[in-house]
Chains A and B, each alone.
Chain A
Amino acid sequence: MEEADHPHHEEHPSYQRHHFESVDQQFDATNFAMWLFLVTEVMFFGGLFASYLIMRNWYYRPFVEGSHQLSIFWGTANTAVLIVSSFTMAMAVWSAEVRRKGTLLLCLSLTLLLGFVFLGIKGIEWHEKWEKHHVPGIHQYSIAAFLDPASDPEVHKQYPDDQPLPYDLAQKTEQYFFLYFAMTGMHALHMAIGCGILIFMIVRAKAGAYTAGHVTFVENFGLYWHFVDIIWIYLFALLYLISRHG
C-alpha cells in the first residue's frame, strides 16, 4: 500500500491531489461529480419547466400568440450558434487529450466567441421585447398586439390567422413573457458563467495547464457546456415553436 506520510512526488503526477490514490481515481471521481452536478441543474430547471407546463396547458392561445412575437430567425440562429459551439467545445476536449495546445486555444476561443454571439443575439431579442413593451410587470406591459393582431403589422404578416384574444386571455400573455424571461434569463446566466469559466480556461490553456496530460477540467467543463446547450434546445422548442406542428 502507498506510504501517505512520505509522498513520493516522482511516483505520481504533480496534479494528483493527495487524497486520491491514483490519477484514474481522481478523474473518475471528479467526472462523476460533474455529472451529478448536472443532475441538480436538471432538477433546478425542472421547476421552471413544470411551471411552463401548467401555464401553457391553461392558457394555450395566449402562449401561442405570445410565441408569435418571438423571432424564429434569431431563435434558429442562436440554436445553430450553440450547436456549433458544442462542436468546437468537443474539439477542444479532443485537442487537450492529444496535447495540441494551439488547436485547444483556437477551439476554446471559438467556443467563447460563439457564446458571446449567443448572448449578443439574446440581447437583441430582449431589446426588441423591451421596445414593444412586452417585458412583464415593469415598463408598462402592453397587450395591444394581442387584442388586435392587425396593430402589429410585422407579426401579423407572418401569422395572418391569429385571432384577437379576449381581454382576459390577452392579459395572460404576460404570464408567457414572465416565463420566457425567467427561462431564457436563467439560461443566459448559465451561459455567462460558462463564458467566464472559458476565459479562465483560455488563460490557463495558454500556460499549458491542460496539454500535459491533465484534461479533467476541460472535459468536465465540456459536459457543463453541452448541458447548457441542451437546455437551450428545449427552450427553443418550447418557447418559439409552440404552434409549429402538424
Chain B
Amino acid sequence: MSAATIVSLPDQATARIPKMNFITKENGLLSWLLTSDHKRIATLYLISITFFFFIGGALAGLIRLELLTPQTSLMAADTYNKVFSMHGLIMVFFFLVPSVPATIGNFVIPMMVGAKDLALPKINLLSWYLYVLGGLMMLYTMSTGGVDTGWTFTTPLSTHYLNTNVVSAALCVFVAGFSSILTGLNFIVTIHKMRCPGMTWFRLPLFVWSMYAASILMVLGTPVLAITLTLVGLERIFHIGVFDPAFGGDPLLFQHLFWFYSHPAVYIMILPGMAVISEVVSTFSRKRVFGYTAVAFSSVAIAVFAFFVWAHHMFIMGISNYSALIFSLLTMLVAVPSAIKIFNWAFTLYKGSITFETPLLYAFGFMGLFTIGGMTGVFLGSTGTDIHLTETYFIVAHFHFVMVGGMLMAFLAGIHFWWPKWTGRMYPEKISQFAAVVTFIGFNFTFFPQFILGTLGMPRRYAAYPPEFQALNVFSTAGATILGVGYLLPILYLTWSLKYGAIAGNNPWQATGLEWQTQSPPLTENFTEIPIMDHEAYDYEWLERQQEKEVASVG
C-alpha cells in the first residue's frame, strides 16, 4: 500500500456537510455578532486578524520598496518612521499576539478538554469586541498621521519630543491588550475547571499545555504594558512624569516596565505556534509526541523564564555590567526549554510514518527557521556580541525568523490542519503544498540577507543606508515579493475550498484528540454528550480500535 498520504475522506459521491452544525444553527448577522459560541467567535477573529495582517503586510511592502534604494526615494524619513512603526504595532498586537490563541485556540480548546464551550463565553465575545475597537482606533491613528516611535514607544521621544499620535496609538494597544488578557483568562479557567471526566492534566493534548503557558504570560504580563502605556499617555498630557529626565524622571524606568511585558510577549506569540507544531508533528508521523512530560513542562518553563530575561533588550541602554551579566546568563537558560521542544519533535518524527501534507510542510519550515532564529538569539543574548549586533538588521532578521519563519508558519500549519474540522471541507492539497514551498523560499530570500546586512553594520529603522548595502537590500525586497505571493495563495484557495473543497468527514487526518471525534463542522455544543477520557494523549491504538467500531456517517 502506497502511504503517500494519510488523508481518509468519506466517499465523495455520497458525503454531505452535516446539516446541523455551528454555522447553520442560526442565521443572520446578529446571531454572529451576539454569539456566545466559541467557534463563531474564533471565526470572527480569523476574519479580523486576516484583515489586519494584510494591512501590516502592505506596510511591510512599503518598507521593502523604500529600501530598494540607498536614498530616501519613496518617502520622507519621517514617513518611513511611521511606516515601520505602524507595521510593527499592527503585526505584533493585531496579528501575532491574537493569531493562534484567538482563532485556533478559541476554536479547539473547549473540544480538546471535552467541554461544550469556554468557561466564560460572554467574556470571549467581549474580547473580540475589544480587539475590533482597538483595531478601529489603530486605523484612526494611521489615518490621522500615525506614530513614529517604533512599536516600542521609547521615552522621552514618545512623551516629550514628538507631535504624532502617540496617545492614540498607546490607547489602541491598551485596548487590544485587554482583549488579550481576557482571552488568556478564559483559557486558564477553562483548562482548570472544564476538563471532562477522565481528562487529567497529563492526558491533555500538548496544544493545551502550550496554550496554558501562553495564557499565563498574557494574564501576568499584559497588565504591566497597560499601566506603562497609561503612564506614557499621562506624561504626554500633563507634561510631567516619571520617564522624562527633564523632570527628574528616568527613561530607563520606561524601558524596564515596557520590556517586562514585551519580552514575555514574544513568548506569548511563539508558544501557541509551538502548540500547533506538537499536534501536527504527531499526526503526520502517526506517533505519540516523544517525551510528553518534557514538552509539557518545557512550555511552563518557557513561561516562567520569560519573566526573568527582559533586560536583554536593554544591554546598551545604560544598565549596569552586573545587570547585563545576570540577564545574559538567564537568557542562555531560557533557550533551553525551546530547544528541548525542537529535539522532542525531531525524535517524534524519527521512525514515524511520515507523510508530507501541507501542515507538516509548514511544521518543517517552523522547525528549521525557528531553530535558526533561536540560535541567532544566542548571539544577541551574549553581551559581547550584542553590543555590535543590536539595533542593526541582525535583530530584524532574528525576530522575523522566529516570528515569521516560526510563528506565522505555525499559524498556517494550524489553519490548514484544523481547516477541515472548522469548515467541513478539505483545502486543495497540491496548490497548498506549492504555496508552502513558495513561502519558505520567499522567506529565506527576504530575511537571510538581513543577517548579513546586520553583521556588516546596517542599522535598523533607517530609511537611507550606505550604497554598499544596496545589493543585499534588493535581494531582500525580491524575496518579499515572493513571500507576498506565498501568503496571498492561501487566501485564494482557502476561500475557494469553502465552496468546492472535498467533504472532509470527521477525521480526515486520522488524528487523535477529542475534537476529531466530533462532526465537521462541529455542532454548536460540540458534543451531544460530554465524553469520558479513558486513554492517554496521542493513543493511536485507541484510534484504530475506534475506527474498527464506527461506521462513517453520511450527512
Task: Give A179 to B234 CA distance when docked, in angstroms.
Answer: 10
Out of B116, B194, B253, B530, name the residue touching A29 (CB < 8 Å): B194
Q: How far is the CB of A178 from chain B (nearest CB, A)?
A: 5
Out of A32, A33, A45, A54, name the residue touching B250 (CB < 8 Å): A54
Out of A18, A33, A45, name the residue touching B525 (CB < 8 Å): A18
Out of A4, A50, A54, A172, name the residue touching B529 (CB < 8 Å): A4
Structural contact, B529 and A137, CB atoms closer than 8 A: no
Question: A17-55 toward B: CB 8 Å interface, digit per residue (1/0)?
Answer: 111010001001110110011011101111110110011
Structural contact, B525 and A5, CB atoms closer than 8 A: yes
Closest to A182 in B: B234
Task: Give A136 to B121 CA distance when docked, in angstroms.
Answer: 43
Structural contact, A3 and B240, CB atoms closer than 8 A: no
Q: How far is the CB of B382 from chain A (nearest CB, A)?
A: 28
Out of A5, A30, A137, name the residue touching B528 (CB < 8 Å): A5
Task: Give A33 to B123 CA distance when docked, in angstroms.
Answer: 11
Closest to B190 in A: A29
Task: Give A45 to B220 CA distance when docked, in angstroms.
Answer: 12
**Which segment, of B128-136, B222-230, B370-378, B427-435, faces chain A?**
B222-230
Specify which chain A residues have a CB less than 8 angstroms from the CB of B240 in the assembled complex. 136-137, 141, 174-175, 178
Task: Give A91 to B151 CA distance when docked, in angstroms.
Answer: 48
Does any Cβ of A come within 8 Å of B192's Cβ? yes
Structural contact, B223 and A44, CB atoms closer than 8 A: yes
Specify which chain B residues have a CB less than 8 angstroms from the CB of A37 in the assembled complex. 185
Does any Cβ of A come within 8 Å of B335's Cβ? no
Q: How far is the CB of A48 from chain B (nearest CB, A)?
A: 6
Does any Cβ of B come within 8 Å of A138's Cβ? yes
Q: How far is the CB of B381 from chain A (nearest CB, A)?
A: 24
Structural contact, A45 and B227, CB atoms closer than 8 A: yes
**Which segment, of B241-249, B282-290, B318-326, B472-480, faces chain A?**
B241-249
Closest to B249 in A: A175
Known: A47-B224, A48-B227, A175-B240. A19 touches B121 (CB 8 A): yes
Q: How far is the CB of B253 from chain A (nearest CB, A)?
A: 6
Q: How far is the CB of B184 from chain A (nearest CB, A)?
A: 9
Closest to A42 in B: B223
Task: Give A3 to B529 CA distance when docked, in angstroms.
Answer: 6
Structural contact, B194 and A25, CB atoms closer than 8 A: yes
Task: Give A17 to B116 CA distance when docked, in angstroms.
Answer: 11
Structural contact, A171 and B117, CB atoms closer than 8 A: no
Q: Which of B226, B248, B256 has the most CB of A within 10 A?
A: B248
Does any Cβ of A come within 8 Å of B188's Cβ? yes
Specify which chain B residues have a CB less than 8 angstroms from the CB of A1 in the assembled complex. 529-530, 532
Q: How far is the CB of A9 from chain B (nearest CB, A)?
A: 16
Known: A54-B253, A55-B242, A137-B238. A29 touches B227 (CB 8 A): no
Task: Give A45 to B237 CA distance when docked, in angstroms.
Answer: 20
Structural contact, A29 and B119, CB atoms closer than 8 A: yes
Specify which chain B residues have a CB less than 8 angstroms from the CB of A141 in the assembled complex. 240
Task: Give A172 to B115 CA distance when docked, in angstroms.
Answer: 56
Closest to A6 in B: B528
Structural contact, A4 and B116, CB atoms closer than 8 A: yes
Task: Give A64 to B419 CA distance when docked, in angstroms.
Answer: 62
Does any Cβ of B come within 8 Å of A59's Cβ? yes
Q: How large is the interface on B (under 10, 10 to 19, 20 to 34, 35 or more residues)?
A: 35 or more
Specify which chain B residues have a CB less than 8 angstroms from the CB of A29 in the assembled complex. 119-120, 189-190, 192-194
Q: How far is the CB of B297 from chain A (nearest CB, A)?
A: 22
Does any Cβ of A come within 8 Å of B257's Cβ? yes
Q: Which of A46, A47, A55, A136 has the most CB of B within 10 A?
A: A47
Does any Cβ of B come within 8 Å of A2's Cβ? yes
Closest to B257 in A: A47
Specify which chain B residues have a CB less than 8 angstroms from the CB of A51 in the assembled complex. 231, 242, 253, 257
Structural contact, A175 and B242, CB atoms closer than 8 A: yes
Closest to B530 in A: A1
Out of A28, A44, A138, name the residue touching B238 (CB < 8 Å): A138
Closest to A135 in B: B238
Specify which chain B residues have a CB less than 8 angstroms from the CB of A18 in the assembled complex. 116, 525
Q: How far is the CB of B300 from chain A (nearest CB, A)?
A: 16
Task: Give A186 to B223 CA distance when docked, in angstroms.
Answer: 13
Does any Cβ of A come within 8 Å of B239's Cβ? yes
Out of B119, B221, B234, name the residue touching A33 (CB < 8 Å): B119
Task: Give A165 to B249 CA distance when docked, in angstroms.
Answer: 18
Structural contact, A59 and B248, CB atoms closer than 8 A: yes
Closest to B120 in A: A33
Specify which chain B residues have a CB less than 8 angstroms from the CB of A175 in the assembled complex. 240, 242, 247-249
Does any Cβ of A come within 8 Å of B219's Cβ? yes
Q: How far is the CB of B39 from chain A (nearest CB, A)?
A: 12
Within 8 A of B (CB), among A77-98: none
Structural contact, A36 and B223, CB atoms closer than 8 A: no
Does any Cβ of A come within 8 Å of B181's Cβ? yes
Q: How far is the CB of A59 from chain B (nearest CB, A)?
A: 7
Within 8 A of B (CB), among A176-209: 178-179, 182, 186
Does any Cβ of A come within 8 Å of B527's Cβ? yes
Closest to A178 in B: B240
Out of A36, A43, A54, name the residue touching B224 (CB < 8 Å): A43
Task: Give A30 to B192 CA distance when docked, in angstroms.
Answer: 11
Task: Give A203 to B335 CA distance when docked, in angstroms.
Answer: 54
Specify which chain B residues have a CB less than 8 angstroms from the CB of A4 in the assembled complex. 116, 525, 527-530
Specify which chain B residues have a CB less than 8 angstroms from the CB of A46 in the assembled complex. 223-224, 227
Out of A28, A33, A44, name the residue touching B226 (CB < 8 Å): A44
Q: How far is the CB of B244 from chain A (nearest CB, A)?
A: 10
Out of A25, A39, A182, name the residue touching B220 (CB < 8 Å): A39
Task: Give A10 to B515 CA distance when docked, in angstroms.
Answer: 30
Structural contact, B529 and A36, CB atoms closer than 8 A: no
Structural contact, B227 and A47, CB atoms closer than 8 A: yes
Task: Give A50 to B242 CA distance when docked, in angstroms.
Answer: 11
Closest to B258 in A: A47
Structural contact, A172 and B231, CB atoms closer than 8 A: no
Specify which chain A residues have a CB less than 8 angstroms from the CB of B231 in the assembled complex. 47-48, 51, 182
Task: Give A51 to B247 CA distance when docked, in angstroms.
Answer: 14
Specify which chain A residues have a CB less than 8 angstroms from the CB of B192 in the assembled complex. 29, 32
Nearest first, the 10 A-B pairs at minimum CB distance are A137-B238, A47-B227, A19-B117, A44-B223, A137-B240, A43-B223, A29-B193, A19-B116, A136-B240, A29-B119
Contacts A3-B529, A179-B242 supplied; 12 other A-B pairs, CB < 8 Å: A4-B525, A17-B121, A19-B116, A29-B119, A30-B119, A32-B189, A33-B123, A33-B189, A40-B223, A48-B231, A51-B231, A55-B249
Residues on A facing B (Cβ under 8 Å): 1-5, 17-19, 21, 25, 28-30, 32-33, 36-37, 39-41, 43-48, 50-51, 54-55, 58-59, 136-138, 141, 168, 171-172, 174-175, 178-179, 182, 186
Q: Can you give 11 A-B contacts (C-beta < 8 A)?
A: A4-B116, A19-B121, A30-B120, A36-B219, A40-B219, A48-B227, A51-B242, A55-B249, A136-B238, A137-B240, A174-B240
